Amino acid sequence: MALSPPKFFVEDRQVPLDATSDPPALFDGTTRLYISYTCPFAQRVWITRNLKGLQDEIKLVPIDLPNRPAWLKEKVNPANKVPALEHNGKITGESLDIIKYVDSNFDGPSLYPEDSAKREFGEELLKYVDETFVKTVFGSFKGDPVKETASAFDHVENALKKFDDGPFFLGELSLVDIAYIPFIERFQVFLDEVFKYEIIIGRPNLAAWIEQMNKMVAYTQTKTDSEYVVNYFKKFM
């Protein structure tokens, strides 16, 4: 079933808070999402918030991670990282947990199908993305990405063939697409620029999926500058 259009508007990016910044008024009833504009894990939750039309309900609090404030660890997230969601007097961390929480506990179009077969496959893909896919691609940067990532990108290509009622992993747009796109976005840019490896060649479903995702302003306004991605990922070579 197609998503009903949520309330959505393009936002100006706020200046990130750093070590010199005072903390917000924590646990005052405001729902806050602590992110970094360049973090793919945080981007997952940012996209989810946007797609569900929750820009008024969930306030973004961008953090300057290289110069992060001490209060991030002391008062918000003991793990000292983003994303972190402040809601109903508690903090939720870990991006996959947060996107499920936001989808289940806030208004807006559902981002996970009711169909049991789709939900089961979705859970498999959500497990695969961080445990295998991301680790495999990052690990290839020191070697031969064309050879070492073929199975991972082929796995994604084949997963996109599973359901034929739409271009997305579960046919319809879901949390699975949100979990994968921040990383595929970055891997596509970096592998092409540094290794001259275009991941969509021979993978028509992946190409169509990326094209479809790039039609969504709720996603595209969260994207990271390509030059930053290339320079940052070179640290893993």
* Tens digit of each residue's pLDDT (9 = 90 or more) over 65-118: 999 999 999 999 999 999 999 999 999 999 999 999 999 999 999 999 999 999
pLDDT surpasses 60 at 2: no
Spatial CA neighbour of 2 closest among 182, 128, 174:
174
Percentage of the chain beyond pLDDT 90 is 95
**pLDDT band at 135, cuts 50/70/90?**
very high
pLDDT higher than 50, residue 4: no
Helices (H) and strands (E) in the chain, counts: 11, 4
pLDDT at 7 over 80: no
Domains of the chain: 1-111 (3.40.30.10), 116-234 (1.20.1050.10)
Q: Return d(Cα 103, Cα 24) in angstroms, integer.
A: 25
- Residue of 98, 179, 90 lying closest to 134 (CA atoms): 179
| pLDDT at site 9 | 72
CA distance 237 to 234: 5
pLDDT in tens, 168-219: 999 999 999 999 999 999 999 999 999 999 999 999 999 999 999 999 999 9
Considering the chain, what is the average pLDDT of its residues?
95
Q: Which helix (H) or strand (E) holds 183?
A: helix 175-195
Q: Which pLDDT belongs to residue 10?
A: 80
**Mean pLDDT score, 117-144:** 97
- Distance in Å from the first CA to the final CA of the chain: 43
Residues 6 or more apart whose CB falls under 8 angstroms from that of 174 comprise 111, 112, 113, 118, 122, 168
- What is the value of pTM for the model shown? 0.95
Q: What is the pLDDT of residue 154?
A: 98
Q: What is the pLDDT of residue 6?
A: 58
